Amino acid sequence: MQFWKPGTAAPGSSLDRATETEQNVLSSAPLSAAISVQSARERLPIYKHRDKLLYCIEKHGVTIVVGQTGCGKTTQLPQYLYEAGWAVDGNVIACTQPRRVAATSVAQRVATEAGSLLGDEVGYTIRFEDVSDKERTRILYLTDGMLFRETLIDPLLSRYSVIMIDEAHERSVYTDLILGLLKKIRRKRPSLRIIVSSATLDATSFLDYFNAGNSPDEATIISLEGRMYPVEVGYLQESTPDYVKKAAETVWNIHMQQTPGDILVFLTGRDEIERCLEDLSEYIPTLPRTAPRLKILALHAGLSTDEQLAVFEPAERGTRKVIVSTNIAEASVTIDGIKFVVDSGFVKIRIYNPTSALSSLATVPVSIASATQRAGRAGRTSSGICYRLYPQSALNTLPRTTPPELTRTDLTTPILQLKSLGIDDLMKFEWVTSPPAESVLRALENLFAAGMVGEDGRLTVIGEKVSECPVEVNIARMLFQSKEYQCGEEMLTIAAMTTIQDVFIIPDGATGALAELERRKFTAEEGDHLTLLNAYNAFTRYGRSSSWCKSHALSFRAMSRAVSIRAQLKKYMQRFGLPVESCQGDARRLRQCLVSGYWRNGARWVADGTYRSIRGNVTLHVHPNSVLFTRKPRSGWVVFHEMEETKKTQIRILTEIEPDWLLEYGHSFKDKRTGASASSTHMQDIQA
DNA sequence: GAGCACTGC
């Protein structure tokens, strides 16, 4: 067998060793979350660095801290700063997180450690939830999205003395935007202290970013060393044509040959996970009667809360737990007790093509940083082994890091928000990493077409308002237009329902066909938007219950989220003086209102069952989830919520419209890039 | 007649 056999090969021979840099990263890490402050300070090197850390923060404007997730920086550092007096005179110490759960759980832990009530001296702020006190809170954990939003109200973030941007290596859209703003804010507020915290050594790029044009000691970098359990890394001797099959095989080999300990497998998506589970279940009957048993679990975001929680349950004595997961287990979900990691070496990421305005999911090789993070998952509670399903030689071909999200996403909303902050010249904004110029141009064009930006590139009155509103511009446009069509009530619901994903699910134990039947109960002739509206209304009519959702093949989690989003958007409507009135079942008005936002997303049905886009005459396929998947729209025309590249170009969430409705909006718009009027070619089809 | 990695306001 070409694969390194666990436990049989002599270390250093057929087991290829981890590279030196990886070992550096792997050996600088964590402190168990359960340790109290006192013992942590006694036992951990972070304590030794405390004074040096505080000195660095005192002396330099920007301090970059490197230490792996869980090393204590997130919980301890803000407390040190508090003790050192950074929160006197009403000042607040902020610490941002990319994810909501992290912000809440860390705040809870720190509140307990500090002997304070959560929401009092220590608090958190996430969307829909503000557990903090304007006067009393001194240490505030918040999502970086919330901090970015705060700059729209207080551009200098004046209530904070220190801002710590945690998990900066993840390079989420809001992390990058907030870093860009902080660089700008610091020029006007030199007293503001910034801490950028990262789990990877790549953090030196943040140092360069903040030091550019300044004296070299403007920023400093400090590494939090720690004790971590060693993780050995093994590689395949030759690359495999089928890493899913190989993953199952590797799990089996570990189970047969290795000491007890749970296994975590990284694959790219639901499909692969299910295939791997099938492969593994074929091995099970060959398990010797005396051998330990295997408990195999899937983990991905599409699962219900209960199914996700199952991965945390310890396996029974004498049973080994195997979790086959997507990238969700790389950073978002931490499972203790993992001793073996099997890494396919691949990940699915979203990429965006600004020229075609299409986004797609691509399966790509992981970055070195990701591979290191995945391996680290084996060494959280004891020493472990990571099996990489590719040859060591392939390491040289892997990128160091995953490209920042800002470089592979639609920038329409971020740029609207930057403009609202007075950053009109986007080429001068100091991006941590510049997005492609094409993406910036495409975003500006979208904003212009949606009436958010005028010919001069400045925000319009409506653009100013929409920038505050947490929805994409097309949807915002419809909310504003709903006043004219007297359908604010319904548009609010549609806005909320189109933002959430995976509304219709296949419940446990039900067949796909059965779920399909349930879904048909909500079906509106006019299309998906009204179908979503029906589902929402039924959900509220039947008491917003989880069992009702289950029996109607709806996701309770998604529906509840829609309720929150709708309530939040309603507040914005009221603030903008927009009426929230019902169209009383007049679907025609509703559909006309949809066109006010979606007029650039028009498509025409053709005889083979596909559609042609009005912009570009691209062949479009209807997503199988659509109620128009099998049916020709009576008028032959639709608008759609979004298009995406899979194997084909697909459109999701369609509604049938009358073609002349498109003209009302299309006539006034000239395509800036091509100079052609939107109504030049295909719009003529409509008129004909 | 076929399918969405993961976040966030």
CATH number of the CATH domain containing A440:
1.10.10
Q: Could you tell me if A369 and A278 lie in one domain? A: yes
A626 touches strand B (CB under 7 A): no
- Is A215 a member of any domain? yes
Q: Which residues pair with A554 in a beta bridge?
A: A504
Task: Report the Cα A688 to chain-centroid distance in Å.
Answer: 45
Structure confidence at residue A20 (pLDDT): 29
A348-366 pLDDT, tens digit each: 999 999 999 999 999 999 9
A499 touches strand B (CB under 7 A): yes
Whether A6 shows a pLDDT value over 50: the answer reads no
**A321 and A382 belong to one structural domain:** yes
pLDDT on residue A669: 57
pLDDT of residue A222: 80
Angstrom distance, A642 CA to B2 C1':
18
Question: What is the distance in angstroms measured between the alpha-carbon CA of A514 and the sugar C1' of B1?
Answer: 17
Q: Is A397 found in the same domain as A427?
A: no
Q: Which residues, 6+ apart, have CB-to-CB distance to A63 below 8 Å?
A: A53, A56, A57, A193, A194, A195, A196, A219, A220, A221, A222
CA atoms lying within 13 Å on the CB side of residue A517: 6
Compute the average pLDDT of residues A397-403: 92
pLDDT band for position A297 (cuts 50, 70, 90)? very high
Whose CA is nearest the C1' atom of nucleotide B8? Answer: A145
Report how far residue A334's alpha carbon sits from residue A445's, in angstroms, rounded to the nearest whole number: 41
Among candidate residues A370, A385, A405, the one where a domain is terminated: A405
Q: CB of A126 under 7 A from strand B?
A: yes
3-class SS string, A292-337 = CEEEEEEECCCCCHHHHHHHHCCCCCCEEEEEEECCHHHHCCCCCC
Instruction: In whole angstroms, give the CA distance from residue A677 to residue A675.
Output: 7
Q: Strand order in A293-299's β-sheet?
A: A231-235, A384-388, A338-343, A262-266, A319-325, A293-299
Straight-line distance from CA A671 to C1' B2, in Å?
A: 34
pLDDT band at residue A280 under the 50/70/90 scheme: very high
Protein residue nearest nucleotide B2, by CA to C1' = A624
Residues 153-172 of chain A with CB under 7 A from strand B are 172
> What is the H or E stretch that residue A81 is in?
helix A73-83
- Per-residue pLDDT, A18: 37
How many angstroms is C1' of B9 away from CA of A177? 13
Would A418 be classed as within a structural domain?
A: yes
Q: What pLDDT, on a 0 to 100 scale, did the predictor assign at position A216?
A: 60
* pLDDT attached to residue A33: 23
Task: Identify whether the C-beta of residue A141 lies closer than 8 Å to the C-beta of residue A166.
Answer: no
Q: Quote the pLDDT of residue A667.
A: 61
The answer to whether position A9 is within a domain reads: no
Q: How far is the CA of A629 from the C1' of B3 (A)?
A: 12
> Beta carbon of A221 within 7 Å of strand B?
no
Across all strands, nucleotide nearest A413 (CA–C1'): B9
Nucleotide nearest residue A101, measured CA to C1': B7
Mean pLDDT of A213-234: 75
The protein residue nearest B7 (Cα–C1') is: A99
A471 Cβ nearer than 7 Å to chain B strand: yes
pLDDT at residue A66, rounded to an integer: 85
Measure A113 CA to B2 C1' (Å).
Answer: 52
Q: Which chain A residues in 59-98 sit with Cβ < 7 A of strand B?
A: 98
d(CA A532, CA A538): 10
Tell me, yes or no, whether A182 and A305 share the same domain.
Answer: no
| Last residue within a domain, chosen from A365, A390, A405 | A405
Residue A496, pLDDT score: 96
The mean of the pLDDT values for chain A is 86
What are the tens digits of pLDDT across the range A451-478?
999 998 899 999 999 999 999 999 999 9
Say what percent of chain A tops pLDDT 90: 68
Residue A577 DSSP symbol: T
**Average confidence (pLDDT) over A641-669:** 87
Is A6 contained in some domain? Answer: no
In this structure, of A87-101, A191-205, A274-288, A569-583, the range with the lowest mean pLDDT score is A191-205
Q: Which two tokens stand for residue A450?
A: 């949606």
Are A373 and A415 part of one and the same domain?
Answer: no
Does residue A2 sit within a domain? Answer: no
Token readout for A221 is: 């970098």
* Rama region for A644: left / alpha / beta (φ>0; ψ in -120 to 50; rest): beta
Domain's final residue, options A405, A428, A455 = A405
Protein-proximal positions, strand B, CB < 7 A: 1-9
For residue A269, pLDDT beyond 50: yes
The number of C-alpha atoms within 13 Å of A447 and in the hemisphere containing its C-beta is: 33
Pair A192, A74 in one domain: yes
Looking at the fold, whether A350 and A285 belong to one and the same domain comes out as: yes
**Distance, CA of A47 to CA of A59 (rounded, Å):** 19
Query: By percentage, how much of chain A surpasses pLDDT 70?
Result: 87
Same domain flag for A505 and A563: yes
Q: Is the CB of A289 under 7 A from strand B?
A: no
Is the shortest CB-to-strand distance from A145 to strand B under 7 Å?
Answer: yes
A162 with A218, same domain: the answer is: yes
In this structure, is the CB of residue A50 within 7 Å of any atom belonging to strand B? no
Distances in Å between the Cα of A160 and the Cα atoms of A51, A150, A303, A482 are 22, 11, 39, 39
- The total number of structural domains in chain A stands at 5
- The rounded distance, in Å, linking the Cα atoms of A3 and A510 is 39
Q: What is the pLDDT of residues A635-647, one digit of tens each?
A: 999 999 999 998 8
Task: Tell me which protein residue sits closest to nucleotide B3, measuring alpha carbon to C1'.
Answer: A624
Choose between A582 and A59: higher pLDDT: A582
Within this chain, do residues A60 and A143 fall inside the same structural domain, yes or no?
yes
Residues 378-417 of A with CB under 7 A from strand B: 413
Is residue A102 domain-resident? yes
**Going along A331-433, which residue ranges are E strands?**
338-343, 346-353, 358-365, 384-388
What's the distance, Cα to Cα, between the start and end of chain A in Å? 68
Q: Which nucleotide is nearest to A609 (CA to C1')?
A: B1
Please, what is the angle between helix A528-541 and helix A488-499, to 10°? 100
A336: CATH: 3.40.50.300
Distance A622 CA to B2 C1' (A): 10
- Residue-wise pLDDT tens digits, A477-487: 999 999 999 99
Q: How far apart are CA A45 and CA A23, in angstroms?
A: 18
Confirm if A417 and A148 have CB atoms less than 8 A apart.
Answer: yes
**Which residues in A585-613 are b (16+ Cβ under 10 Å) and which e?**
eebebbbbbbbbbbbbbbbbbeeeebbbb
Residue A21 lies in a domain: no
pLDDT in tens, A224-265: 766 578 899 999 999 999 999 999 999 999 999 989 999 999
Q: For residue A273, give the nucleotide whose C1' atom is nearest its CA.
A: B5
Paired residues of A504 in beta bridges: A554
Give the CA-to-C1' distance from A505 to B1 in angstroms.
19
On whether residue A592 sits in a domain, the answer given is: no
Under 8 Å between Cβ of A557 and A305: yes
Cβ partners under 8 Å of residue A150, min gap 6: A157
pLDDT number for residue A2 = 38
Report the nucleotide nearest the CA of residue A608, measured to C1': B1
Range with the poorest average pLDDT among A26-30, A170-174, A624-628, A642-646? A26-30
Determine the pLDDT at residue A616: 87
Q: Which helix (H) or strand (E) holds A246?
A: helix A243-257
Which nucleotide has the shortest C1'-to-CA distance from A174?
B8
* Bigger pLDDT: A16 vs A136: A136
Residues A519 and A446 in one domain: no
Closest residue to B5 measured CA to C1′:
A348
Report the C-alpha gap between A120 and A237 in whole angstroms. 56
**A367 CB contact with strand B at below 7 Å:** no
Same domain for A166 and A125: yes
pLDDT at A589 over 50: yes
Amino acid residing at A94:
A
Q: Is pLDDT at A685 greater than 80 in this prediction?
A: no
Q: Is the CB of A631 under 7 A from strand B?
A: no
Judged by DSSP in three states, A344 sits in coil
DSSP string for residues in A37-62 = HHHHHHH-HHHHHHHHHHHHHHH-SE
**How far is the C-alpha of A297 from the C-alpha of A326, rounded, in Å?**
12
pLDDT at A37: 26
Q: What share of chain A is helix, strand, coil (3-state, %, to 5)?
A: 40, 20, 40
User: According to the model, what pLDDT value does residue A71 have?
Assistant: 72
pLDDT tens sequence across A530-552: 999 999 999 999 999 988 998 88
Q: How far is the CA of A656 from the C1' of B1 (A)?
A: 20
Using a 7 Å CB cutoff, list residues 573-592 of A near strand B: none
| Cβ neighbours around A557 below 10 Å, total | 15
Given this model, what pLDDT does residue A619 score?
94
Q: What is the pLDDT of residue A672?
A: 45
Q: Is the CB of A361 under 7 A from strand B?
A: yes
**A679 pLDDT exceeds 70?**
no
Q: Phi, psi (5° rounding) for residue A563?
A: -60, -45
C-beta atoms surrounding A177 within 10 Å: 23
> Residue A628 belongs to what domain range?
600-687
Q: Which nucleotide lies nearest residue A642, CA to C1'?
A: B4
Gap from A7 CA to B9 C1', in Å? 49
